[in-house]
Amino acid sequence: LPLFRKIVLLVLFCLTQSLSYYNGPSLYSALPSLDISMDMTESQSTWMVSAFQLTFASFLLISGRISDVYNPKNVLIGGVASLGITSLCAGFVVNEVPMIICRALMGIG
């Protein structure tokens, strides 16, 4: 591969990794206002944080195997697309349970 293409791919992979990294801290800063606006209990607030982490950790090995079986490029694009779509859906949710489900789906993506 030419050097320019390697650099572009490195930047894209770093941006993709940062999507996953910034997903958690962005929720931590928004959680107090989400608690108030959705009238959430403490356990629902805990599940809001834990849903992403649990599904992300659970599907990490499975996604590696899927990437081995199928084209890794398509798996990466599918994962980033599903993360983006579920993040968009979570932005329009007004209840606690669908928000927790969206957070869990983000972890799978």
| Run means of pLDDT, 10 residues per run, the chain, 109 residues | 88 84 80 86 86 88 88 87 88 88 88
Please indicate, yes or no, if residue 71 is contained in any of the structural domains: yes
- Give the pLDDT of residue 45: 86
Give CA separation, 15 vs 20, 22, 93, in Å: 9, 10, 26
Do 54 and 103 touch, CB atoms closer than 8 A? no
Domain housing 90: 42-108
Please indicate, yes or no, if residue 33 is contained in any of the structural domains: no
Do 98 and 44 touch, CB atoms closer than 8 A? no
When divided into structural domains, the chain yields a total of: 1
**Beta strands in the chain, from DSSP E residues, in sequence order:** none
Please indicate, yes or no, if residue 94 is contained in any of the structural domains: yes
Q: List, for residues 25-35, the tens digit of each pLDDT value.
A: 788 888 888 88
Helices 3-38 & 96-108 angle (0-180, nearest 10) = 160
| Global pTM value | 0.81
